[in-house]
Chain A
């Protein structure tokens, strides 16, 4: 093959809105653009919170069901525990020059990353276009999103 299987486009499906998952998605999308690779994100189900204007500034780290937190599940479930872990993580993020979620969305959009909301999930949560970030490129069905991914060298990633 002439292009040696080079990645040309990353289609990322973001189905979760825990802070660590949203950052993983955003870093991967931005990193693709930095390498000259196209990138598009399809926000679905709870992933929609990452592009919901009133929710995206309040995303949390998951402290329950996350063994890598090294915190007993019972303790992780105590009130305030998620907020504490989140504020600790945000402090560490700042140290390594990571933008917050809102600024990261601005960077992605300016970098040419296409941001899509899943129609089915929008209907399910009763969200409207006006509830979502201005940078949103549109509301798509799964079929539309697959069409966006047409072409050689496209990879899909589910987060």
Chain B
């Protein structure tokens, strides 16, 4: 499905993940965060940047890996993105939904 986000026409999956990372920019991240009742702070951005780098390097993401990233521990990750953190953070970062169960 297509949706207008911050003035741009963006292709999304049924669950609201960007289909094409090339369409992502910081305004879109802010808009997607607001939809999830989150206001992005510099701490959020550190995590989002880490997630995007892992995606660019083809590293599969999991909660365990985020906890070992050295960027954020699992407790703070849940504080930053309280509801379904890995799903929400990857959505805002514009990368595909992780398939991990852990």
Q: Are A and B part of the same complex?
A: yes
Contact A112/B78 with A34-B86, A35-B87 known, Cβ cut-off 8 Å: yes
Cα(A62)–Cα(B78), bound, Å: 35
| Docked-complex contact B86 and A107, CB < 8 angstroms | no
Give the interface SS of chain B, mostly helix, strand, loop or mixed.
Answer: helix
Task: Point out residues on A near B: beta carbons under 8 Å.
Answer: 27, 30-31, 33-36, 97-99, 103, 107, 110-112
Task: Point out residues on B near A: beta carbons under 8 Å.
Answer: 62-65, 67, 73-75, 78, 83-87, 100-102
Residues from chain A with a CB closer than 8 A to the CB of B84 are: 34-36
Q: How many A-B residue pairs have CB under 8 A?
A: 42
Residues from chain B with a CB closer than 8 A to the CB of A31 are: 101
Which one of B74, B75, B78, B102 contacts A98 once the chains associate, using CB atoms below 8 Å? Answer: B102
Contact A97/B73 with A107-B67, A112-B78 known, Cβ cut-off 8 Å: no
- Smallest beta-carbon distance B48→chain A, Å: 18
| Docked-complex contact A27 and B64, CB < 8 angstroms | no
Residues from chain A with a CB closer than 8 A to the CB of B64 are: 97, 99, 103, 107
Residues from chain A with a CB closer than 8 A to the CB of B73 are: 110
Cα(A27)–Cα(B62), bound, Å: 13
| Docked-complex contact B78 and A30, CB < 8 angstroms | no
